[in-house]
């Protein structure tokens, strides 16, 4: 039982960052109809940016975190402007090929820049974990969860309460009508991709110090984001948030009670089950199927 409680705590902490990854990806797919293969690389970028800023340049950890997220936003906007804007109106497969190309370029650039050796980030949080009864959790992980939840809340408020969010939702529902009503579609696309990329970078920047930064971390992150997004329904933000926690829960239990070697295969099993029984995802309306 105490072991189960520990798994539950780990689930919540991992789930928060998974939810960030999923929300970023589903936002981009829902609004832009782009399967974003660079998502995992922005996650890796976040982790490496924190490492470079905090460990190599000696910048304050929290400032490094903020700068890493902003860096993700800037890179996302650049990808949209350079690669995706000229492809507007192209079919989804063609943009997918471009995004795969961008993915390979980014991953191997990271490999060249950082080498194959894993990098660790030292944080200002105490090493000794907080112990509550049978459960122990490090202060860093609590901070990671708090940050992830605040970012999810901020994204939610941004989409539902601000003017930009309203324009994004309008574009999501009907791009042409939104454009006729005076929504700047180009601007919305750039903003969406930048925000989605920023969320991925945030997830990486938060999890990088918990685990280690390795060049291939982006691949798994990308696959897991896909699983989360299919689970929640492509384009559904609430679905992605809940999907993130479900995937974390399944992984944590699978690794704890079955086999840790297959931990990363669990996302795929979830995709299979969802496609077999509810192909549109758990939380999506019928019109959202891509």
Partner 1 sequence: MRRLFPILALAALASVPLWLDDAYLLHILITTGIFTIAAMSLNLLLGYTGQLSLGHVAFFGIGAYVSALTALGFDVDIGPWTIVHEPWPVLAGFVLAVAIAGLCGYLIGKLSFKVRGAYFVIVTISFAEVVRLVALNWVDLTQGPLALNNIPPFTLQFPGLGEYVLWGKVANYYLVLIVAVVAYVIIKRLVGSRIGRAMVALKENESLAVSVGINVTRYLVLAAVVSAALAGAAGSLYAHYVKIVDPEIFLFIYTVTMVIMVVTGGKGTLAGPVVGGLIFGILPVVLRSYLGPEFQWIFYGLFMIFIVFVLPQGIVPAFERRFARPGPEPPAEAVGARQ
**Interacting residues toward partner 1 by CB under 8 A:** 29, 35, 83, 86-87, 92-94, 96-98, 100-105, 107-109, 111-112, 219, 223, 226-227, 230, 234, 259, 261-262, 264-265, 267-269, 271-272, 275-276, 279-280, 289-290
From the CB of 268, what's the least distance to partner 1, in Å?
A: 4
Please say which residue, 137 or 255, places its beta carbon nearer to partner 1: 255
From the CB of 161, what's the least distance to partner 1, in Å?
A: 29
Q: 280 phi and psi, to 5 degrees?
A: -90, 5
Classify 283 as helix, strand or coil.
Answer: coil
Give Cα 42 to chain centroid, integer Å.
9
From the CB of 137, what's the least distance to partner 1, in Å?
A: 28
Q: Give the span between the Cα atoms of 251 and 258, in whole angstroms.
A: 10
Please say which residue, 42 or 271, places its beta carbon nearer to partner 1: 271
CA angle 209, 244, 195 (to 5 degrees): 70
Q: Give the span between the Cα atoms of 269 and 286, in whole angstroms.
A: 23
Residue 38 contacts residue 79 (beta carbons within 8 Å)? yes
From the CB of 262, what's the least distance to partner 1, in Å?
A: 6
> For strand 130-132 and strand 135-137, is the pairing parallel, antiparallel, or unpaired?
antiparallel
Please say which residue, 83 or 179, places its beta carbon nearer to partner 1: 83
Please say which residue, 160 or 216, places its beta carbon nearer to partner 1: 216
Please say which residue, 132 or 289, places its beta carbon nearer to partner 1: 289
From the CB of 62, what's the least distance to partner 1, in Å?
A: 33
Q: Give the span between the Cα atoms of 228 and 237, in whole angstroms.
A: 11
């Amino acid at each position: 039982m105490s072991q189960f409680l520990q798994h539950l705590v780990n689930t919540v902490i991992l789930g928060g960052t998974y939810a960030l990854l999923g929300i970023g990806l589903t936002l981009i797919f829902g609004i832009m109809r782009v399967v974003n293969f660079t998502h995992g690389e922005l996650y890796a970028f976040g982790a490496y940016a924190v490492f470079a800023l905090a460990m190599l340049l000696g910048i304050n950890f929290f400032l490094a975190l903020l700068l890493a997220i902003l860096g993700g936003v800037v890179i996302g906007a650049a990808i949209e402007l350079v690669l995706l804007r000229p492809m507007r109106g192209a079919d989804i497969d063609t943009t997918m090929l471009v995004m795969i190309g961008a993915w390979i370029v980014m991953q191997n650039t990271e490999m060249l820049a950082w080498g194959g050796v894993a990098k660790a980030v030292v944080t200002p949080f105490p090493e000794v974990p907080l112990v509550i009864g049978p459960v122990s959790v490090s202060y860093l992980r609590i901070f990671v969860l708090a940050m992830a939840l605040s970012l999810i809340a901020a994204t939610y408020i941004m989409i539902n309460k601000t003017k930009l969010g309203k324009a994004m939702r309008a574009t999501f529902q009907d791009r042409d009508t939104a454009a006729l009503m005076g929504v700047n579609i180009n601007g919305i696309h750039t903003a969406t991709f930048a925000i989605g990329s920023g969320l991925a970078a945030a997830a990486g920047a938060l999890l990088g110090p918990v685990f280690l930064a390795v060049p291939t971390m982006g691949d798994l992150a990308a696959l897991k984001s896909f699983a989360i997004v299919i689970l929640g329904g492509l384009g559904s933000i609430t679905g992605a948030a809940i999907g993130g926690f479900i995937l974390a829960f399944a992984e944590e239990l699978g690794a704890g009670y079955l086999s840790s070697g297959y931990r990363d295969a669990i996302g795929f099993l979830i995709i299979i089950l969802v496609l077999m029984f509810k192909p549109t995802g758990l939380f999506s309306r019928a019109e959202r199927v891509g």
